[in-house]
Chain A
Amino acid sequence: MATETARPVPVPGAERTTAAPGPAPSLLRRLLPGPAPGANGAALYRRWWLPWLWTAPAIGCAVVFGVFPFFNTLLLSFTDAKPLGGAAGFVGLDNYTRMLGDSDFWLATRNSVLYALIVVPLMVLLPLMLAVLVEKNLPGIGFFRSAFYTPVLASSVVVGLSWQWLLADDGLVNTWLQKAHLIRSAIPFLSDSWLILLSAMGLTLWKGLGWYMVFYLAALGNVPKELHEAAAMDGAGAVRRFWHITVPGVRQAMMLVGTLTGIGSLRVFTEIYMLGSSTGGPGGADRTLPFYIRDVGLDPLTGNAGYGSAVSVALFALTLGLTLLAQRLTKEEEA
């Protein structure tokens, strides 16, 4: 039998000040999380700085790679800074005034907005339909899932080159259409500015379908199967079940896909560069806002980082505005 030893009489509220027997804990011990000898562990975990300590790496990364560049861009937009450095002078709102009267800026804005307006709805719906198709566990369905996902893994440059080859005047698409007697002369996919823009959108969609299909596959798992069964028994067809059960069931995922695609669409660059070359299509007619930022802000010889930053801020405002608008519309619909 263990020998009884004298214990301190517990006093309410005294645990915070009661010194532990033995030597005083080291500074490291005191800083490190976890209960010190004799101390109440829960109290230690309530130290105000502990959450900050755990989140410090993430906050550090966010500040260095997100917050700082953002504020730096904001500040630069009021200057005439050059990409090669040197003294930057404060120019007030000059860059923003110039932007409002710059026809090339508005052309790039039109292209970016158009890109988002066409790509976002398609990117929200098409991968969902694809996910519904491949959701069922049929023999060989894994092959189709993998096949649809493959473009996601391919490099944008490789995909762009493949599409160039497909869409050339003597490429696969025109050759097939001509052989099928659907067209007489080649469709100028790569020399007409509207067709270049539409082809670039097609490329974005094709490359993104597989990625968002995986999102939806995960979301579809949460849609109760009983609802489908009940609706089917009540005579609802596949299309009706899709619109009234599947779509509401994955609404949150659709919202996420819409937001991500919207942001991505407004930032599109590679597709336009691959299909429209360094000018951004003939006459630069297919340039999007990131393309325009590269031209006016980043060129080492003639770039104006201040003006480029002002256009970047406009792009940010546009992205934020469209995202908030989409959220509001969704909320109104839900209400």
Chain B
Amino acid sequence: MRAKRLTGSVAGVLVLVLTAAGCGLSGGSGGGGATAGGCKVDQGNVGSGKLTGDVKGRITFQTTNLKKDFGSFFNGVIKDFEKAHPGATVKWIDDPGDNTFTTRTVADAQACTLPDVINLNSETATALTKAGYLLDLGVKDPDVAKPFVPAFWKSSTMTASSGATVHTVLPWYTGGIVLTYNTDLLKKAGVDTSKSPSSVFGLFADYEKVAKAAKGAYYATMANPVWRIPADWDQMNIKTLSDDGKSAVFANDPRTVQWVAWMAKLYKEGAMPKDSLSSSNDPSTLYSQGKVAYGSTNPSFVRFVKQNSPSVYAKTGVGQQPFDSLGHTTGAPQYISVAATSDHAPVALAFAEFLTDAENQTAWCKDPNVVVFPTTTASLDDPFFQNVTGNDPFSDARKLVAEQLKTATAYQTNLSPAVQNAIVAQVQLAMQGKKSAAQAVKDAQAKANELLKQAG
């Protein structure tokens, strides 16, 4: 009798488990009606019509690691929004933004619990757009583009699963891109600091000069190629992926092999610390110690040096990042998106537009605790950016970025971390001399395609 009961119980548990496991396979919530990414949603959130409805209800707004330093600013924005829209309330949550951010956000999306308004990086926005979890803002509010710098808005696009180009993100803020260097070390190497190189290979040539002059006493830059792929290739207008994003094509451009050959040569000649090949790519510490000639490429870094290493700051120079074939700077900003699964999409959309409007962007960029730049035309025309005074490196950096943002684009090749790692790994082997540059590029493309193929 007992054995029978036990058998029955075990069978019951197994049936439950297998049933649940079966549910796990189907994914998302089923049923009829409108769906987004497998979740049931309001009809108005999907399709081609403009989003209408009362701006009333409670929404959740998620930022990434901003609460600690900017709590009062964002609470003020929320208060202003709620005052302008009686009946609408915003609950603010802040994600730590660690390296599991994308995974956790994707898990939220699968559980149909994505925050209504969410601060996203390019990689996560790409993943969520592909799976249909984000509102097509360009369709849901045809006027949404108006405040943004045209080049930035046009390039702030993502690819839907259908292959269509959609505006699921609002460009919010960007850190800017500049060249930062230690003028003393560059002068010792005979590098002309009055004129920045115009191409990536020109910059590499300067790195080589530093390596030859330093003879191991200091370095030009860090070795890990992870922060240069695909940023350098984008700047050089090398096509990394095919138009539909389903295959890697960078090996078709002969400049890719040249680029890898340059990296291998620089590593061999001692332009980069040997132990930085697969470890930290952050030059902040070594630059602040005067051991690396080129620093990080953003104005925030210049302020970091100013605050932490005044003696090195006094030697720091700022120049234009090489425009190369692209002719302007490019790089994804931080984005704001609205979840297609929102129960109060009109409120969420209104808040997203309110947060990213010129007034709020300008106000935040003026916050002394932050070095960020706005993406709206009116904000960039503000005297705060147009009339930067001072000739110190930090002021120079701010002037350069404010100027370049008028023509900059948000375009960035979005490689998945796995594909990026697969490419970087092959470049590392070439840098160690274990493979020729040509072979490494060929193998990198094959590995990338293997991963892209399994994604379908």
- Contacts of B425-456 to chain A: CB distance below 8 A: 425-426, 428-429, 431-432, 434, 451-452, 454-456
Most buried by B among A80, A87, A278: A278
Known A-B contacts A63-B13, A276-B278, A279-B226; the reply to A81 vs B110 at CB < 8 A is no
Nearest-neighbour CB distance to chain A for B230, whole angstroms, equals 14
Contact across chains for B17 and A277 when beta carbons are under 8 A apart: no
Contact across chains for A277 and B279 when beta carbons are under 8 A apart: yes
Nearest-neighbour CB distance to chain B for A305, whole angstroms, equals 10
Q: Which residues of B contact A83 (CB under 8 A)?
A: 106
Nearest-neighbour CB distance to chain B for A158, whole angstroms, equals 14
A52 at the interface (CB under 8 A from B): yes
Contact across chains for B279 and A190 when beta carbons are under 8 A apart: yes
B130 at the interface (CB under 8 A from A): yes
**Cβ 8 A contact of A68, one of B17, B37, B106, B275:** B17
Known A-B contacts A296-B454, A301-B416; the reply to A85 vs B38 at CB < 8 A is yes
A320 at the interface (CB under 8 A from B): no
Known A-B contacts A71-B21, A85-B28, A85-B110; the reply to A302 vs B454 at CB < 8 A is yes
Contact across chains for B131 and A85 when beta carbons are under 8 A apart: yes
Contact across chains for A282 and B103 when beta carbons are under 8 A apart: no
Known A-B contacts A83-B106, A278-B421; the reply to A188 vs B274 at CB < 8 A is yes
- Contacts of A56-74 to chain B: CB distance below 8 A: 59, 63, 67-68, 71-72, 74
B280 at the interface (CB under 8 A from A): yes
Q: Which residues of A contact B454 (CB under 8 A)?
A: 80, 296, 302-304, 307
B9 at the interface (CB under 8 A from A): yes
Complex Cα gap A189–B275 (Å): 8
Residue interface mask B104-116, A partner, CB < 8 A = 1: 0010011000000
Complex Cα gap A302–B1 (Å): 52
Q: How large is the interface on A (under 10, 10 to 19, 20 to 34, 35 or more residues)?
A: 35 or more
A315 at the interface (CB under 8 A from B): no
Contact across chains for B102 and A52 when beta carbons are under 8 A apart: no
B292 at the interface (CB under 8 A from A): no
Most buried by B among A48, A280, A295: A295
- Contacts of B406-435 to chain A: CB distance below 8 A: 414, 416-419, 421-422, 424-426, 428-429, 431-432, 434
A93 at the interface (CB under 8 A from B): no
Contact across chains for B21 and A48 when beta carbons are under 8 A apart: no
- Contacts of A282-328 to chain B: CB distance below 8 A: 282-284, 295-296, 298-304, 307
B20 at the interface (CB under 8 A from A): yes
Which B-chain residue is minimally distant from A98 (CB atoms)? B454
Contact across chains for A48 and B5 when beta carbons are under 8 A apart: yes
Complex Cα gap A278–B99 (Å): 10
Known A-B contacts A302-B454, A307-B454; the reply to A277 vs B418 at CB < 8 A is no
**Cβ 8 A contact of A80, one of B37, B277, B456:** B456
Complex Cα gap A71–B9 (Å): 17
**Cβ 8 A contact of B273, one of A81, A85, A164, A169:** A169
Residue interface mask B270-287, A partner, CB < 8 A = 1: 000111011110000000
Residue interface mask A161-201, B partner, CB < 8 A = 1: 00010011100000000000000001011110000100000
Contact across chains for B424 and A301 when beta carbons are under 8 A apart: no
Contact across chains for A71 and B18 when beta carbons are under 8 A apart: yes
B33 at the interface (CB under 8 A from A): no
B24 at the interface (CB under 8 A from A): yes
Nearest-neighbour CB distance to chain B for A283, whole angstroms, equals 4
B25 at the interface (CB under 8 A from A): yes
Contact across chains for A284 and B422 when beta carbons are under 8 A apart: yes
Contact across chains for B38 and A303 when beta carbons are under 8 A apart: no
Complex Cα gap A302–B450 (Å): 10
B211 at the interface (CB under 8 A from A): no
Complex Cα gap A279–B277 (Å): 10
Contact across chains for A302 and B419 when beta carbons are under 8 A apart: yes
Most buried by A among B16, B27, B38: B27
Q: Which residues of A contact B27 (CB under 8 A)?
A: 81, 85-88
Complex Cα gap A84–B434 (Å): 36
Which A-chain residue is minimally distant from B20 (CB atoms)? A68
Residue interface mask A136-162, B partner, CB < 8 A = 1: 000000000000000000000000000
Nearest-neighbour CB distance to chain A for B318, whole angstroms, equals 28
Q: Which residues of B contact A167 (CB under 8 A)?
A: 275
B390 at the interface (CB under 8 A from A): no
Complex Cα gap A82–B195 (Å): 49
B86 at the interface (CB under 8 A from A): no
Complex Cα gap A307–B451 (Å): 11
Known A-B contacts A48-B5, A85-B38, A275-B279; the reply to A301 vs B434 at CB < 8 A is no
Q: Which residues of B contact A280 (CB under 8 A)?
A: 421, 425
Q: Which residues of B contact A307 (CB under 8 A)?
A: 454
- Contacts of B230-248 to chain A: CB distance below 8 A: none
Nearest 5 Cβ contacts at the A-B interface? A301-B416, A85-B27, A299-B418, A302-B455, A284-B425
Residues of B within 8 A of A (CB): 2, 5, 9, 13, 16-18, 20-22, 24-28, 37-38, 102-103, 106, 109-110, 123-124, 126-127, 130-131, 224, 226, 273-275, 277-280, 414, 416-419, 421-422, 424-426, 428-429, 431-432, 434, 451-452, 454-456
New A-B contacts (20) at CB < 8 Å, excluding given A68-B21, A88-B26: A67-B13, A72-B21, A80-B454, A82-B456, A85-B27, A88-B25, A188-B275, A189-B275, A191-B277, A276-B278, A277-B226, A279-B425, A282-B278, A282-B428, A283-B426, A296-B418, A298-B103, A300-B124, A301-B130, A304-B455
